[in-house]
Structure 1
Amino acid sequence: MSGDIYHDIAQAYAAAAEKAPGLKSRFAGAGFDPATVTSLADLSRLPVMTKEELLKIQRDDPPFGGFLAADLKDVGRIYVSPGPIFEPALPGVGGHGLDLLFKAAEVGSGDIILNTWMYHLVPAGLLFDEAAQAAGATVIPGGVGNTELQAQIIVETGVTAICASTAFFLTLADKVIETYGRDAWTVKTAFLGGEMGDWMSKRRRIEADYDVATWATYATADLGLVAYEDEGEGYVVHPDRVVQICDPVSGVMVPHGEPGEVVVTARDATWPMIRFGTGDSAFALESNADGSVSRISALQGRVGAAVKVREIFVYPRVIEDVVIATPGAKAAQAIVTREDDRDRISISLLLEEGADASAARTAAADAFQLHSRIRADAVRIVAELPENADLMVNRKDG
Structure 2
Amino acid sequence: MVDRVPSMRERLAAAGVDGSSVTAADLDSVDVLTKDELPALQQATPPYGGLVAEGSAVARVFASPGPIYEVQLEGEDPWQWAAALSACGVGAQDVVLNCFGYHLSPAGMMFDLACRAIGATVIPAGVGSVELQARIVADVGATAYIGLPSYLAALVESYDDLGLPADRWLIDKALVTAEPLPDPLRERLVSRIPTVLMAYGTAEAGLIAHEVEPGRGLAVAEHVFVQVCEPGSGVPVLDDSLGEVVVTMAGDGTPLLRFGTGDVSRWQVVDGDLRLAGVLGRVGAAVKVRGMFIHPHQAAQVLEGLRDVGVTAGRYVVGRDGDRDRLTLEVSSDPGADLAAIQEVAEARTVSALRVRPQVVVVAEIEESHVLVDTRTAG
Partner of 2:42: 58
Q: Which runs of 5+ in 2 are unaligned?
A: 286-321, 324-373
What residue in structure 2 maps to residue 310 of structure 1? none
Deviations 1:67-92 (A, max 9, x none): 221326x1001122211111211123
Q: Deviations over 1:295-352 (max 9, x none)?
A: 21111111279xxxxxxxxxxxxxxxxxxxxxxxx99xxxxxxxxxxxxxxxxxxxxx
Q: Decide which structure has the larger Cα Rg and report it.
A: 1
The one-letter code sitting in structure 2 at the alignment partner of 1:30 is A
Describe the superposition over 1:258-308 as per-residue Cα deviations: whole angstroms up to 9, x where unpaired. Answer: 111111101225213111111111111249x9xxx9421111111279xxx
Identity %: 38
Counterparts of residues 1-398 of structure 1 (less than 5 Å): 15-16=1-2, 18-38=3-23, 40-71=24-55, 74-179=57-162, 180-195=164-179, 199-208=182-191, 210-231=192-213, 233-268=216-251, 270-286=253-269, 294-303=274-283, 390-391=376-377
**2:88 and 2:175 in contact (8 A); partners too:** no
Q: Which amino acid aligns with 1:125?
A: G
User: What is the SS of the residue equivalent to 1:216?
Assistant: strand
Quickly say closer, same or farther: Cα 1:391–1:20, change in 2 above 3 A. closer
CA contact (8 A) 2:177 2:200 kept: no
- Deviation, 1:207, is 1.2
CA shift digits 1:15-63 (9 cap, x unpaired): 33x223333222222222222323x212222111111222221111221
Q: Is the 8 A contact 2:8 2:257 kept in 1?
A: no
3-state SS, counterpart of residue 256 of structure 2: coil
Normalized per residue, the structure richer in helix is 1
Distance 1:91 1:260, change over 3 A: same
SS at match of 1:88: strand
CA gap 1:152/1:200 in 2 versus in 1, 3 angstroms: same
- Cα distance change of structure 1 residues 152 and 202 upon mapping to structure 2, 3 Å threshold: same
Partner SS, residue 100 of structure 1: helix
Aligned-pair Cα RMSD in Å: 2.5
Retained in 2: the 8 A contact 1:57–1:65? yes
| TM-score after normalising by structure 2 | 0.70
Letter in 2 for 1:136: G
Amino acid at match of 2:377: L
**Change over 3 Å in CA distance of 1:169–1:95 after alignment to 2:** farther
Q: TM-score, normalised by structure 1?
A: 0.67
- How many residues align? The count is 289
- In structure 1, distance between residues paired with 2:161 and 2:19: 58
Please give the alpha-carbon distance, in whole angstroms, between the structure 1 residues aligned to 2:25 and 2:7: 23
